[in-house]
Amino acid sequence: MGMFTTILVAVDESQAAGEAAALAARLAAEDHAGVLLVNVVDVAKLISVAGYDTPYPVEAVQMLQTAGQQLLDEIKAANASSGVKIATAIGEGDAIDEIVRLADENGAGLICIGTHGRTGLARLFVGSVAEGVVRRADVPVLVVRPASENGGSKGLGKPSAAKSRE
């Protein structure tokens, strides 16, 4: 048995998330670990966009959950050749909270997450899920930038940051 039994990968529609999933599958194959792909429906952001007077947007949440599961299924299929056991999960709530909670609940020894690489005002207003996960997770976090941001390498993104808590 290797260092990790489960690697959680937080995914969205970004190139970085796809590269993070590919890297996690490769690491899992080398470590004889499983991969848990996670997508989170952020209900608070959905309500803030719709407006405070809007009732709980059940249909919108269901649509986002369906789209999230389709995304998870696509990423799972893209990494099927790795030979790694890949499971999927949809979270609902704050993305950082859900990623950290699901990592804990599933015994993940590593979280792998892509970053969009926003800086300045874009980062201030949009926030960084990757940064929040790095700050709050109790396990190491591997942050992957898209290949276009790290020298144009083809295939897997290069890890841009890692963190471990003792």
The stretches in the chain having pLDDT less than 50 are 122-126, 152-166
* Predicted confidence (pLDDT) per residue in 150-166, tens digit: 554 433 333 444 444 43
Superfamily designation of domain 6-163: HUPs (3.40.50.620)
Query: Where does 16-67 show beta strands of DSSP type E?
Result: 34-41
Whole-model pTM: value is 0.81
Instruction: Give per-residue burial for 93-120: e unless 16+ CB within 10 Å, then b.
Output: ebbbebbbebbeeeebbbbbbbbbbeee
pLDDT score of 127: 57
At CA 91, angle to CA 29 and CA 60, rounded to 5?
Answer: 130
Element housing 88 (H / E): strand 86-92
Q: How far apart are CA 50 and CA 68, in angstroms?
A: 19
pLDDT score of 156: 39
Backbone angles phi, psi at 23, to 5 degrees: -65, -45
* Predicted confidence (pLDDT) per residue in 134-149, tens digit: 999 999 999 998 877 5
pLDDT score of 150: 52
pLDDT score of 96: 94
- Nearest Cα neighbor of 142 from 39, 26, 8 is 8
pLDDT score of 49: 63
pLDDT score of 158: 39
Could you tell me which residues come within 8 angstroms of residue 166 by beta carbon, excluding any fewer than 6 positions away?
Answer: none
pLDDT score of 147: 79
pLDDT score of 165: 43
CB 26 within 8 A of CB 55: no
